[in-house]
């Protein structure tokens, strides 16, 4: 969240950011509530001082054997007013907190201003689009034809957009996860984390999913737990309410988890197959950094995610998101989009985001550079390293052969213990 002092000092900047991000929050209401809060606190302090003064006077009069009823009545009246104002203050502070949680992060000054995905900027591309001597099949035909993805049985078990991976399909998922974890741990020096798949409200609020995105989350109502939409949620909150030291930073974490999201778009052609699913596997990268290092670390984070696609030999591009496409919590974001040759689409497989101190402030993750230094907030970053469903789309469509088999990219062969998924 943004610091209230920052909002009151920069109201026009905050209002502009709300507009640029297509969000809806009443910044003037925040300013009004903050002013009311200040007035109430001043009045409460004054009333407490008055009550204390009157109590001292009553004590002195009692010692002198004098009448105190009138002063006691005054104390009662002051106490009644104090209780009323304290109740008002609690209500104002609650409303103010709720509004502050809905204020989006400020886009970094380098982010292109735009109103839709058409205003995103392609930063670079890698590789070339594959060419075929035959008409390539899409991932749905390939998956069903090879018996490695079963959409109908997934729908029977759970509902639409819950695919089942079978045989070599399940093995391919496991191979990709292990390949990515090994790459990020052994080469990129991330610390592996195996977090819970459930998160409480405070944890979901810390990374910015709540309150804005609650309707998009799967909620276990009996226990008030949420199924995590991404490992970013539990991993970022590992240091909730902790004070980190400069010597600890940067911290690099990597986690494999299943991810659960209710939002799956429409049910038309654009979301067929694996393009949008309710449950999917993902390897997530999370960083905690010193504020002055976060944008340099963001570029490194992006490169770490890119290397997965490069090693797999998949054609992709890096896209810088414009202001309107930024997530609620992000200050800057790059998307990695992989090319699916038969589906004929660029598919997002990773978002690399810098949240600056937005998430750290919400999660109360603090930084003390030295014993004498004041507390501040570290910066948090994350990227998918990478998400599986769309990567699998691109992989099987890119490496399909005329006979319907799939060639396995070199880096995955030790994990698959095979060089192809043979045609039936």
**Residue 388 in domain:** yes
**Residue 60 in domain:** yes
Domain of 41, CATH number, reads 1.10.287.40
Among the listed residues 185, 183, 169, the one whose alpha carbon sits nearest the alpha carbon of residue 395: 169
pTM for the complete prediction?
Answer: 0.94
Distances (CA, A) of 288 to 32, 239, 268, 275, 282: 34, 10, 39, 31, 20
Catalytic residue chosen out of the listed positions 17, 294, 351, 353: 351
Catalytic residue chosen out of the listed positions 36, 93, 214, 348: 348
**Residue 68 in domain:** yes
Q: Dump pLDDT digits (tens) for 260-278.
A: 999 744 444 456 799 999 9
Domain shared by 96 and 122, yes or no: no
**Residue 42 in domain:** yes
Domain of 147, CATH number, reads 3.30.930.10
> Domain end: 100, 131, 155, which one?
100
Residue 19 has, within 13 A of its CA and on its CB side, a CA count of 7
CA–CA distance, 391 with 340 (Å, rounded to integer): 9
Domain shared by 86 and 186, yes or no: no
Decide if 90 is catalytic.
no
Among the listed residues 84, 21, 96, 10, the one whose alpha carbon sits nearest the alpha carbon of residue 47: 84
> Domain end: 100, 133, 149, which one?
100
**137, 118 in Cβ contact below 8 A?**
no
**Residue 31 in domain:** yes
Decide if 261 is catalytic.
yes
Domain shared by 175 and 314, yes or no: yes
Phi-psi region of 70 (alpha: psi -120 to 50; beta: other; left: phi over 0): alpha
Residue 272 confidence (pLDDT): 79
Residue 353 confidence (pLDDT): 98
Domain shared by 81 and 196, yes or no: no
Catalytic residue chosen out of the listed positions 261, 361, 362, 366: 261
Decide if 348 is catalytic.
yes
Distances (CA, A) of 153 to 121, 392, 393: 40, 19, 19
Domain shared by 91 and 175, yes or no: no
Domain shared by 65 and 127, yes or no: no
Domain shared by 93 and 145, yes or no: no
Q: Which residues of the chain have pLDDT under 70?
A: 264-271
Residue 266 confidence (pLDDT): 44
Domain shared by 301 and 412, yes or no: yes
**Residue 109 in domain:** no
Domain shared by 10 and 156, yes or no: no
What would the DSSP string read from start to end of 93-133? HHHHHHHHTTPPPPPPTTSPP-SSGGG-EEEEEES-----S
Domain shared by 66 and 128, yes or no: no
CA–CA distance, 355 with 335 (Å, rounded to integer): 15
Domain shared by 359 and 416, yes or no: yes
Residue 270 confidence (pLDDT): 59
Residues with Cβ < 8 Å from 313, sequence gap 6 or more? Answer: 127, 398, 409
Alpha helices in 21-68, H assignment, sequence order: 27-64
**333, 351 in Cβ contact below 8 A?**
yes
**Boundaries of domain holding 301:** 117-421
CA–CA distance, 276 with 273 (Å, rounded to integer): 7
Domain shared by 223 and 280, yes or no: yes
Residues with Cβ < 8 Å from 269, sequence gap 6 or more? Answer: none
Number of domains, the chain: 2
Give 159's DSSP letter.
Answer: -
> Domain end: 60, 75, 100, which one?
100
**Which residues, listed in sequence order, are joined to residue 252 by a DSSP beta bridge?**
287
**Residue 105 in domain:** no
Distances (CA, A) of 299 to 6, 263, 306: 27, 29, 10
- Provide the mean pLDDT of the chain: 96
Decide if 345 is catalytic.
no
Q: Which helix (H) or strand (E) holds 182?
A: helix 168-182
Catalytic residue chosen out of the listed positions 17, 232, 276, 284: 276
**Residue 110 in domain:** no
Residue 151 confidence (pLDDT): 96
Decide if 48 is catalytic.
no
Phi-psi region of 208 (alpha: psi -120 to 50; beta: other; left: phi over 0): left
* SS3 label, residue 365: coil
Distances (CA, A) of 117 to 113, 120, 256, 336, 393: 11, 5, 29, 14, 22
SS3 track for 308-340: HHHHHCCCEEEEECCHHHCCCCCCEEEEEEEEE
């Amino acid at each position: 969240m943004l610091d209230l002092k920052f909002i009151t000092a920069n109201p026009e900047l905050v209002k502009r950011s709300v507009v640029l991000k297509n969000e809806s929050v009443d910044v003037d209401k925040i300013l009004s509530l903050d002013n009311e809060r200040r007035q109430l606190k001043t009045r409460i302090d004054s009333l407490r001082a008055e009550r204390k003064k009157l109590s001292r006077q009553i004590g002195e009069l009692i010692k002198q054997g004098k009448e105190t009823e009138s002063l006691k009545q005054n104390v009662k009246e002051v106490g009644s007013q104090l209780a009323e104002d304290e109740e008002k203050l609690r209500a104002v502070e609650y409303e103010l907190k709720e509004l502050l949680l809905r204020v989006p992060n400020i886009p970094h000054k380098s982010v292109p201003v735009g109103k839709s995905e058409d205003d995103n900027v392609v930063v670079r591309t890698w590789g070339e689009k594959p060419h075929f001597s035959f008409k390539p099949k899409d991932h749905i035909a390939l998956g069903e034809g090879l018996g490695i993805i079963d959409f109908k049985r997934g729908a029977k078990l759970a509902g639409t957009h819950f695919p089942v991976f079978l045989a070599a399909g399940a093995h391919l998922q496991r191979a990709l996860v292990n390949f990515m974890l090994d790459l990020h741990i052994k080469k990129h020096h991330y610390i592996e984390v195996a977090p819970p798949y459930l998160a409480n409200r405070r944890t979901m609020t810390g990374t910015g999913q709540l309150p804005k995105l609650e309707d998009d989350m799967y909620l276990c109502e009996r226990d008030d737990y949420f199924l995590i939409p991404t490992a970013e949620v539990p991993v970022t909150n590992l240091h909730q309410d902790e004070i980190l030291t400069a010597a600890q930073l940067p911290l690099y974490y990597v986690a494999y988890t299943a991810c659960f999201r209710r939002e799956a778009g429409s049910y038309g052609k654009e979301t067929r197959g694996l393009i949008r699913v309710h449950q999917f596997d993902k390897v997530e990268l999370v960083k905690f950094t010193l504020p002055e290092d976060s944008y340099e670390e963001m570029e490194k984070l992006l490169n770490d995610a890119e290397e997965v696609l490069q090693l797999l030999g998949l054609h992709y591009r890096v896209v810088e998101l414009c202001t309107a496409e930024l997530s609620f919590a992000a200050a800057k974001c790059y998307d990695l989009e992989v090319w699916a040759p038969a589906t004929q689409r660029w598919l997002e497989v990773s978002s690399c985001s810098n949240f600056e101190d937005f998430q750290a402030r919400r999660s109360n993750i603090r930084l003390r550079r030295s014993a004498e230094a004041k507390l501040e907030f570290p910066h948090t970053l994350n990227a998918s390293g990478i998400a599986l469903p769309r990567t699998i789309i691109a992989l099987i469509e890119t490496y399909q052969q005329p006979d319907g088999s799939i060639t396995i990219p070199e880096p995955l062969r030790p994990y698959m213990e095979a060089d192809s998924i043979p045609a039936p």
